[in-house]
Amino acid sequence: MNLMPITIYSLATAAVFTSFVVVTLGGAVMAVVARRLVRSVCGLALSFLGLAGLYYFLHSPFLALMQMLIYVGAICITIMFAMMLTDPQDQPIRRGRRLLLEAASLLVAGLLAAGLITLLDRSTWMTTSAPSHGDTLPELGRVLLFRYGFAFELISVVLLLAILGALVVARSGRRSPS
């Protein structure tokens, strides 16, 4: 048995990649087919975790950690919170037989996936001259605030509008305690 470190490394790499992909796709499937809304959110969280793993696998630890912090830590929890405010003990949804609808959605999803895959396959990918190892954070910050500064500011305006909108919606339901 030839157990060179190099073979082990490549085997381990393949195993790690496969497991992250399985987690991502499994979470996504769980999010779609689950009958309880909470389980769907859990599937979503699982999918995000798998995606974070893939980012880490691609030498981008910052993106991986941000994925966990924002998507698992903020988005999933906010969805859960919204659910608890509306219906804390949601019951499994009783789905009737809607074969036509399900077949149609499956078709659309399949077409979308096929289109994306062909697009990925056809497009030419830009390769970086050297894979960056280690600290990419200062570079990322510089690019975000100088080269893409305008887009960055625009996104913050969008978020500000969302906050203002939430305030308006929340305010209209309240009366002053007079």
Partner 1 sequence: MSLSHEFIMGLVRLTLYVVGLIAFAAFNAAYLSLCERKVPAWFQLRYGPKEVGPFGLLQPVADGVKLLTKQLLVQKGSDVLLFKLAPVMVITPAIMCLAVIPFSETLGARNINLGLLAIFSFSAIHVLGTMLGGWASYNKYASIAAARVVAQNIAYEIPLLLVIVALVMVTRTFNLHEIVAQQAGAFWHWNIFRLQASPLMPLAFLIFFTCMLAESNRAPFDMIEAESELVAGAFTEYSGMGFGLFFIAEYANIVVGCSLATVLFLGGWHCPFGLLPGLHWFMIKMYVLCFAVIWVRWSFPRTQFYGLLNLSWKFLIPLAFVHLMLTAVMLKLA
Q: Which residues here bind partner 1, judged by CB under 8 A?
A: 2-5, 8, 36, 38-39, 42, 45, 61-62, 65-66, 68-69, 72-74, 76-78, 80-81, 84-85, 88-89, 134-135, 137
CB of 60 to partner 1, least distance (A): 11
Q: How far is it, in rounded angstroms, from Cα 1 to Cα 102? A: 50
Q: Long-range contacts for 133-136 (Cβ within 8 Å, ≥24 apart)?
A: 133/59, 136/60, 136/62
Nearer Cβ to partner 1 (81/148): 81
- Greatest Cα pair distance, the chain, in angstroms, is 83
Nearer Cβ to partner 1 (28/73): 73
Q: Are 45 and 76 in contact (CB under 8 A)?
A: yes
Q: Which two tokens stand for residue 54?
A: 């893939």
Q: How far is it, in rounded angstroms, from Cα 25 to Cα 34? A: 14
CB of 127 to partner 1, least distance (A): 24
Q: Identify the CA nearest to 26 among candidates 53, 56, 50, 57.
A: 50
CB of 22 to partner 1, least distance (A): 18
Nearer Cβ to partner 1 (122/133): 133
Q: Are 107 and 100 in contact (CB under 8 A)?
A: no
Nearer Cβ to partner 1 (97/134): 134
Nearer Cβ to partner 1 (113/163): 163
Q: Which two tokens stand for residue 153?
A: 């500011």
CB of 105 to partner 1, least distance (A): 26
